[in-house]
């Protein structure tokens, strides 16, 4: 059994992570990945990493994710941006989303840091 840090329904937390990843894809992020870190991370259960195309687009995606969380009753705990908006973190506690400018993503290489995580298959999003 995989230990989770979340007190929420594991299926609901996973579904929320998938929804956020799909929202990133719909908003033109590239190379969107979701990793299941239950039993590995003491910080969160899922991590989403995505590349943005510009600081403006990344800010827009972050705002859309925050709005989606609020709408679904899972508001973000916090959101943080570096001064150059090359890395934005939106923290929903159980799910943490990292939006990167591609060069910064390669530099920080979070995928290697969390390489023990299990990749989550994210179905292609359907625009409503």
How do residues 48-99 score in pLDDT, each as one tens digit? 999 999 989 999 999 999 999 999 999 999 888 777 779 999 999 999 999 9
| Encoded tokens for 74 | 């899972």
- Band (124; pLDDT cuts 50, 70, 90): confident
When pLDDT is averaged across residues 99-110 and rounded to a whole number, the result is: 95
What is the overall mean pLDDT for the chain? 91
Would you give the DSSP letter of residue 124? P
What are the chain's domains? 10-114 (3.30.460.10)
Q: Which helix (H) or strand (E) holds 60?
A: helix 55-71
Would you tell me how many other CB atoms lie within 10 Å of the CB of residue 16? 22
Q: Which of 33-37, 67-71, 77-81, 119-123 has the lowest mean pLDDT?
A: 77-81
Q: Which helix (H) or strand (E) holds 80?
A: strand 78-81
pLDDT of residue 1: 43
pLDDT at residue 35 tops 80: yes
SS3 108: helix
Phi, psi dihedral angles at 50 (to 5 degrees): -145, 150
Would you give the DSSP letter of residue 98? E
> Over the stretch 39-48, which tens digit does the pLDDT of each residue have?
999 889 999 9
Distance CA 79, CA 97 (A): 9
Would you tell me how many other CB atoms lie within 10 Å of the CB of residue 92? 25
């Amino acid at each position: 059994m995989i230990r989770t840090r979340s007190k929420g329904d594991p299926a609901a937390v996973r579904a929320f992570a998938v929804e956020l990843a799909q929202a990133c894809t719909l908003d033109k992020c590239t190379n969107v990945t979701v990793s299941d870190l239950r039993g590995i991370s003491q910080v969160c259960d899922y991590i989403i990493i995505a590349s943005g195309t510009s600081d403006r687009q990344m800010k827009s995606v972050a705002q859309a994710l925050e709005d989606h969380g609020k709408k679904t009753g899972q508001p973000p705990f916090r959101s943080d941006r570096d001064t150059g908006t090359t890395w934005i973190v939106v923290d929903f506690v159980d799910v943490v989303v990292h939006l990167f400018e591609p060069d910064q993503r390669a530099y920080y290489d979070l995928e290697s840091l969390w390489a023990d995580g299990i990749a989550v298959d994210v179905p292609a999003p359907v625009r409503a």
